[in-house]
Structures are given as structure tokens and as C-alpha cells.
Amino acid sequence: MSPARPCRGMRAAVAASVGLSEGPAGSARRGRLLRPPSPAPAAPGARLLRLPGSGAVRAANPERAGWTEALRAAVAELRAGAVVAVPTDTLYGLACSASCSAALGAVYRLKGRSQAKPLAVCLGRVADVYRYCHVRVPEGLLKDLLPGPVTLVLERSEELNKDLNPFTPLVGIRIPDHAFIQDLVQVFGGPLALTSANLSSQASSLNVEEFQDLWPQLSLVIDGGPIGDGQSPKYRLGSTVVDLSVPGKFGILRPGCALESTTAILQQKYGLLPSH
């Protein structure tokens, strides 16, 4: 295992398609709320910025300036070891640098989450899965399921921080089908730890108002508007979690919101057998 990496000083990776240069590490203020034009109450004292569109679809010119500003603010906070709330394709999530051990601890504390429960790792591209995992499934399978509302559990590689889920040799990989968080991971330049934005044992969040109690403990809240229809219980199920660590087999660890389509791909297209 590689040693735990520091929270600051990560490589300044800027995705060419986003057209960003690295923002100053201290440029984002604590308690900042980013949201699209749809009205949403801000936390007391929070500075309000606007993220164009819903965030699920990449903003186009002439709205690029707001998109870029949101990315710079989020990257600056993540590189400083902070915890940021972000929209995904399934739920609102809490994200931090997977390489920052202090930030990982902060996520567990603010959620009241058991240290025995793992955090998922969010990546920006399918190609990155091969760096952080030992992959024993066809590349086509990864591309059929990612990006998408699934978490793929694979054997972790030595590239991941040893303090991330130290109790298991496996790791859950997420690449949400959501343009903003994909851009965020690629501009940040490393893996993010990701979990749902709610207190443990409480309902998951489909809009930022539903986890307002956590705002004072977060450095940044990015509001991408309601996820799904904002009401249907189906949207609160989260991603479908699939164990692919055993060659030729798959195990459903959480049914989630994409169970039928996921199992169909695994069984009918790739001939994998259910492990239980």
C-alpha cells in the first residue's frame, strides 16, 4: 500500500475540454452555496453563486463562465482538504479527496457514519478504473455500466490511500452520469471519496434543502436543482451496488435504482452468474 497522501499539493490537473487553469487554493470561502437560477434558500451568511443549468448537462457558451467559477471553487476546497456537497445522477453526495486522510475522517464524523462502512471512490473516466483497481472483467462491461447509476465493487490497487476503507481489499467505484461531477473529478486530478449527503440512517437527499442541517459543517454546497422528479421514492434508492471481484460472477450488494438493467447486462450480454 502506498502511504497516505497529504491534503494539499496534489498535481494541478486541468481537463482540456473544460478550459480551466488552476484556481488559487484559498479562493473559495467557507459556507459558499452554488446553485442554478431556480430559487433556493441560502444558509445564513453563505455567499451565493449561480451554476448555469441543472449541472447534469455540461453548460455551453455563453454560460461557461458560471460553470468554470463553480469548478474552480469546488477544486480549491477539495485541495484544501474540505468536504463539499455535490449533485450526482442518483442523489446529492458528500465528496472529499480520497487521498486526504483528515478529510475522510471528517466525512465519517459529520454523517455520524460507522467507521466499518466503506466510502465509494468517484472517478471521471472509465480509463481511470484501471489505475485504482485490479480489473478482471471485460472493458466493454465497464463501458456498458459506466458512467451510470451503479457502483462497481472491485479489488483495489495500491494507488489508493491506505486510510480509505482500510478494513477491506475491495473498493466501490462510481462514475456518475452527471456532467458537473465528471468535470470536477477530472479538473481536481485525483479520486474523490463519495457518500450520500445525509446523516447516517436518515433519508437520502434529492435537493439541497433536505440536508440543510449539514451545511454549517461543509465548505461548499453545489446546488444542481432537484434530482429526478424530486419526490419519487425510486430516486432515493441510490446507485445499484454490484460486486465484480470474483471472476465470472456478480453479487448485488444493494438493489438501488438500476437493478433490472444492470443484471440484464451482466447476465445476458456477458454471461456472468449470480454469486448468491
Q: Which domains does the chain have, with CATH numbers?
A: 47-240 (3.90.870.10)
Structure-model confidence comparison of residues 21 and 183, the more confident one: 183
Buried-exposed string 150-178: b where 16+ CB fall within 10 A, e elsewhere: bbbbbebbeebbebbbeeeeebbbbbbeb
The pLDDT, as a whole number, for residue 201 is 87
Mean pLDDT of 162-191: 96
- Cα Dmax for the chain: 55
The answer to whether the CB of 200 falls within 8 A of the CB of 155 is no
**Residue 117 reports pLDDT greater than 90:** yes
Q: What is the DSSP pairing of strand 170-174 with strand 120-122?
A: parallel
Query: What phi and psi, each to the nearest 5 degrees, are found at residue 270?
Result: -115, 0
**Residue 149 reports pLDDT greater than 70:** yes
**What mean pLDDT, rounded, does the chain reach?**
83
Mean pLDDT of 171-199: 96
Q: 15-43 pLDDT, tens per residue?
A: 333 333 333 333 333 444 444 333 344 44
The pLDDT, as a whole number, for residue 60 is 61
The pLDDT, as a whole number, for residue 230 is 65
Q: CA-CA distance, 162 to 20, in Å (whole number)?
A: 30
Structure-model confidence comparison of residues 131 and 227, the more confident one: 131
Sequence-distant (6+) residues with CB within 8 A of 167 are 116, 118
The pLDDT, as a whole number, for residue 223 is 87
Q: 229-264 pLDDT, tens per residue?
A: 766 788 899 999 999 999 999 999 999 999 999 999
E strands in 157-214:
170-174, 192-196
User: How many residues in the chain?
Assistant: 276
pTM score, two decimals?
0.83
